[in-house]
């Protein structure tokens, strides 16, 4: 009986240590990975754009950037967000920072820009996204320095499989918009917090 209790106690201690290690990794380990990736992306972001090719024929639709490559910069003054956005929303891409939903618009284009970000771990990219309210400012920047200002129009919470939110605020008629997505409540992935915003001005250089 004593031996069985000792074994059970050791098992519980091992489980506790395993859980503690997981929590430490989720908070500090993943954040270190994202910080390192963002530092590399910042260097990539500052590199001059290659010259545009001379058009000699009907232009072809450009393929999307490679997954994980820098495609935009997002700044949200109210909650201290300033990150390089990468292409794609796979686990590998989101480990680097906020991810652009491939197939949605890019900043300044017609349509809705879709961007996702972690709320727990991975440097807590969108940890305070729930603090945004109607009228708050979001700035998106493209390579080369063009910046676009968006104003929050609404927020909502949906189930994880609801992709219609990427179409933008259903109560807005703006031709250029933005959708931000993250998990909610904090430390869970039960639902998705959605922030909608509309572009409100031409590019600022």
| Residue 133 confidence (pLDDT) above 60 | yes
> Is this prediction's pTM over 0.85?
no
Q: From 3.40.50.720, 1.10.10.10, 3.30.420.40, 2.40.260.10, which CATH number describes the 70-199 domain?
A: 2.40.260.10
What pLDDT score does 196 carry?
Answer: 98
C-alpha to C-alpha distance for 21 and 14, rounded to whole angstroms: 10
In percent, how much of the chain has pLDDT > 90? 61
Question: How far is it, in rounded angstroms, from Cα 34 to Cα 32?
Answer: 5
The answer to which of 2-11, 79-88, 111-120, 158-167 has the lowest mean pLDDT is 2-11
Q: Does residue 9 have a pLDDT over 60? A: no
Per-residue pLDDT, 51? 67
Q: Decide the pairing of beta strands 147-158 and 137-141.
A: antiparallel
Q: How far is Cα of residue 62 from the mean position of the Cα atoms in its chain?
A: 23
Model pLDDT, residue 189: 87
Give the residue with greater pLDDT, 18 vs 183.
183
- Please give the average per-residue pLDDT across 53-68, as a whole number: 70
- Mean predicted confidence (pLDDT) in 83-95: 95
Query: What mean pLDDT do residues 93-107 have?
Result: 96
């Amino acid at each position: 009986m004593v031996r069985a209790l000792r074994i059970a106690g050791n098992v519980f201690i091992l489980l506790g240590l395993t859980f503690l290690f997981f929590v430490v990794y989720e908070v500090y380990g993943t954040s270190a990975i994202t910080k390192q990736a963002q530092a590399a992306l910042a260097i990539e972001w500052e590199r001059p754009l290659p010259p545009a090719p001379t058009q000699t024929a009907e232009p072809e639709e450009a393929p999307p950037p490679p997954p994980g490559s820098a495609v935009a910069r997002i700044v949200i003054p109210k909650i201290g967000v300033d990150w390089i956005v990468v292409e794609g929303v796979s686990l590998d891409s989101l480990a680097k920072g906020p991810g652009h939903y491939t197939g949605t618009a890019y900043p300044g284009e017609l349509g809705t820009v879709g961007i996702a970000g972690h709320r727990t771990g991975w440097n807590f990219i969108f940890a305070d996204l729930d603090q945004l309210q109607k009228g708050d400012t979001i700035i998106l920047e493209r390579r080369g320095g063009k910046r676009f200002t968006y104003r929050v129009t609404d927020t909502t919470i949906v189930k994880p499989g609801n992709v219609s939110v990427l179409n933008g605020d259903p109560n807005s008629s703006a031709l250029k918009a933005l959708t931000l997505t993250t998990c909610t409540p904090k430390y869970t992935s039960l639902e998705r917090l959605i922030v909608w915003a509309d572009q409100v001005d031409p590019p600022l250089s």
